[in-house]
């Protein structure tokens, strides 16, 4: 009997010693957002306390473990640098996290054009593998996971960027992070939460969608597929919620292809997504998106309307958009293979807009206003001191009178203005540029960024 009691005691003690646990996003090798606070959380023996000692701090933080066996605490993070350690202890238990870096952490999310990696045969990444090793870039790749309930952990781990870890990681995210690391000279942490085919609704908390009758109705129109979820919140629950306690600098987003059928609500949907994420992180972080590329969608003008919604979204605080129409080599392929320049443009946008460094214009030219000059229309643009045409003449412009009949237009560049006309039209009223699903324009800023598609009218297509 005495031996039996000892066995029970040992087993019980082992059970207690196994209680102190951390989610996968809080681990050795992680990157914490510099010069702010971040949340450490996990599980432990109810009623006990967790002692936290960060190597950059001269104090010990404590957190009480609740009767649900959970605990959380906010700690201050240091300036960029490392490696650091964090030691957590509770009773006889101890966890030591090593090789922690402090720097800039970015979330990379969206559907397949964000997800695509070496595994899809991208030459950009294949050529990058021999030089990919960089201890100052850490990758956290969340596998595709959906859930009806909100999760607090994911099956992922922080990995040093190298030729192995990069193979499964977002190519756009990697090139974005590499440029940031080179320019800022600080550690970069990248969280890849992307899933090909997903509509934006699945990345928004379900209760937020359900509180909005218009968005709820639009979500009900989405079709069901075998390869990705289509109901609100399903990807958010399992791929975003588990990491929203890990503070980030911002988010990049490449998505929209699966929402061309619900373009009318996309702007409000994305505002809702951005605001809900910022609320969960308690951080009004910048959100930079990629405008969807030219592609032969079935519904006429559906992509044009979706791009228009993305463009309008830039009026939302701390948002920005990069145009990639010139990076498309095949409008029959929804996945342009040039991910390097997409990541670079996102990084240049973040560097100029958020970090306030770099030279030259980092935004594409966009339409500002229009005025009449006889039988011609003069378009004023922003984000360009001078415009250039790549080709003998501008393409993608149409012009219309009050009859709403669209004719091909001639274009003359005048600094950062465009003069547009058609000799057969004496009283022009409106202009459209690349306002369809597939047209690739050839007007650029002096820094090489393409003019964003636009229309001056508000007629129903």
- 339 lies in a domain? yes
% of the chain at pLDDT higher than 70: 96
- 460 lies in a domain? no
Position with higher pLDDT, 317 vs 5: 317
Burial of 438 by CB count in 10 Å (0-12 exposed, 13-18 middle, 19+ buried)? middle
pLDDT, position 37: 96
The residue among 71, 100, 129 that closes a domain is: 100
Candidates 373, 380, 372; CA nearest to 417 is 380
- pLDDT of 8 higher than 70: no
- 269 lies in a domain? yes
- 130 lies in a domain? yes
User: What is the mean pLDDT of the segment spanning 382-400?
Assistant: 92
User: What is the mean pLDDT of the segment spanning 281-293?
Assistant: 97
- pLDDT of 96 higher than 70: yes
In a shared domain, residues 345 and 403? no
Spatial CB neighbours of 458, under 8 Å, sequence gap ≥ 6? none
pLDDT averaged over every residue in the chain? 94
In a shared domain, residues 227 and 298? yes
- 187 lies in a domain? yes
User: What is the mean pLDDT of the segment spanning 311-333?
Assistant: 96
For residue 246, the domain's CATH number is 3.40.50.1110
In a shared domain, residues 254 and 398? no
Q: Which residues, listed in sequence order, are joined to residue 455 by a DSSP beta bridge?
A: 432
Q: Cβ of 60: how many Cβ atoms within 10 Å?
A: 11
- 110 lies in a domain? yes
Q: Please state, in angstroms and rounded to a whole number, the distance separating the CA atoms of residues 170 and 285.
A: 21
* Number of domains making up the chain: 3
- 244 lies in a domain? yes
- 358 lies in a domain? no
pLDDT, position 18: 59
For residue 372, the domain's CATH number is 2.60.40
Q: pLDDT digit string (tens) for 398-427?
A: 999 999 999 999 999 999 999 999 999 999
In a shared domain, residues 93 and 107? no
- pLDDT of 7 higher than 80: no
Q: pTM for this one?
A: 0.94
> Two tokens at 400?
């219309």
The residue among 58, 81, 100 that closes a domain is: 100
> Two tokens at 226?
């075998």
Beta carbons of 87 and 94 less than 8 angstroms apart: yes
Position with higher pLDDT, 4 vs 334: 334
Q: pLDDT digit string (tens) for 229-279?
A: 999 999 999 999 999 999 999 999 999 999 999 999 999 999 999 999 999
- pLDDT of 162 higher than 60: yes
The residue among 353, 377, 407 that closes a domain is: 353
- pLDDT of 375 higher than 90: yes
In a shared domain, residues 248 and 175? yes
In a shared domain, residues 146 and 294? yes
Candidates 349, 215, 209; CA nearest to 287 is 349
Spatial CB neighbours of 411, under 8 Å, sequence gap ≥ 6? 389, 393, 394, 397, 418, 419, 420, 443
pLDDT, position 454: 96
Residue 422 main-chain phi, psi, to 5 deg:
-140, 125
- pLDDT of 16 higher than 70: no
pLDDT, position 460: 82
pLDDT, position 373: 93
Domain that holds residue 77: 19-100
User: What is the mean pLDDT of the segment spanning 92-119?
Assistant: 97
- pLDDT of 315 higher than 90: yes
- pLDDT of 4 higher than 80: no
pLDDT, position 358: 80
In a shared domain, residues 121 and 215? yes
What would the DSSP string read from start to end of 348-408? Answer: HHHHHHTS---SS--S--EEEEEEEETTEEEEEEES-SSEEESSSS--SEEEE-TT--EEE
Beta carbons of 285 and 318 less than 8 angstroms apart: yes
For residue 76, the domain's CATH number is 2.60.40.10
In a shared domain, residues 159 and 250? yes
What would the DSSP string read from start to end of 202-228? Answer: GGS-HHHHHT-HHHHHHHTTSPP-SSS
In a shared domain, residues 372 and 321? no
User: What is the mean pLDDT of the segment spanning 151-171?
Assistant: 98
pLDDT, position 384: 87
Q: pLDDT digit string (tens) for 36-62?
A: 999 999 999 999 999 999 999 999 999
In a shared domain, residues 167 and 83? no
In a shared domain, residues 149 and 258? yes
pLDDT, position 356: 95
In a shared domain, residues 413 and 431? yes
User: What is the mean pLDDT of the segment spanning 191-219?
Assistant: 97
């Amino acid at each position: 009997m005495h031996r039996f009691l000892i066995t029970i005691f040992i087993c019980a003690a082992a059970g207690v010693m196994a209680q102190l646990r951390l989610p996968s996003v809080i681990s050795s090798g992680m990157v914490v957002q510099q010069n702010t606070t971040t949340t450490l959380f996990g599980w432990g023996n109810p009623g006990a306390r967790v002692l936290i000692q960060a190597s950059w701090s001269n104090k010990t933080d404590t957190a009480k473990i609740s009767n649900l066996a959970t605990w959380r605490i906010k700690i201050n993070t240091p300036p960029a640098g490392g490696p650091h350690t964090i030691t957590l202890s509770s009773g006889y238990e101890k966890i030591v996290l090593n090789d922690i870096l402090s720097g800039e952490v970015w979330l990379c999310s969206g559907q397949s054009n964000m997800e695509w990696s070496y595994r899809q045969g991208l030459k950009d990444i294949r050529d990058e593998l021999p030089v990919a090793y960089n201890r100052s870039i850490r990758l956290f790749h969340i596998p595709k996971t959906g859930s009806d309930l909100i999760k607090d952990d994911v099956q992922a781990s922080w990995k040093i960027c190298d030729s192995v870890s990069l193979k499964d990681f977002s190519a756009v995210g990697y090139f974005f992070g590499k440029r940031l690391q080179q320019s800022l000279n600080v550690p970069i942490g990248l969280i890849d939460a992307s899933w090909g085919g997903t509509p934006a609704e699945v990345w928004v908390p379900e209760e937020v969608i359900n509180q909005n009758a218009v968005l709820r109705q639009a979500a009900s129109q989405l079709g069901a597929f075998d390869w990705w979820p289509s109901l609100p919140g399903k990807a958010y629950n399992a791929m975003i919620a588990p990491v929203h306690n890990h503070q980030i600098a911002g988010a990049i987003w490449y998505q929209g292809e699966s929402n061309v059928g619900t373009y009318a609500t996309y702007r409000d949907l994305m505002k809702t997504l951005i605001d809900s994420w910022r609320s969960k992180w308690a951080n009004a972080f910048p959100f930079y998106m990629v405008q969807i590329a030219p592609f032969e969608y079935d519904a006429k003008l559906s992509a044009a309307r979706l791009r228009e919604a993305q463009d309008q979204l830039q009026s939302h605080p701390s948002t920005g958009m990069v145009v990639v129409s010139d990076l498309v080599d095949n409008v029959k392929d929804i996945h342009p293979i040039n991910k390097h320049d997409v990541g670079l443009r996102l990084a240049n946008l973040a560097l100029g807009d958020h970090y306030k460094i770099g030279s030259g214009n980092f935004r594409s030219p966009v339409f500002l206003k229009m005025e009449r000059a006889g039988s011609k229309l003069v378009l004023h643009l922003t984000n360009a001191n001078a415009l250039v045409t790549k080709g003998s003449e501008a393409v993608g412009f149409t012009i219309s009178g009050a009859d709403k009949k669209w004719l091909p237009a001639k274009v003359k560049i005048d600094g950062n203005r465009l003069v547009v006309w058609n000799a057969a039209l004496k009283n022009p009223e409106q202009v459209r540029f690349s306002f369809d699903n597939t047209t690739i324009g050839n007007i650029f800023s002096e820094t090489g960024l393409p003019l964003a598609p636009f229309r001056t009218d508000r007629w129903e297509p």
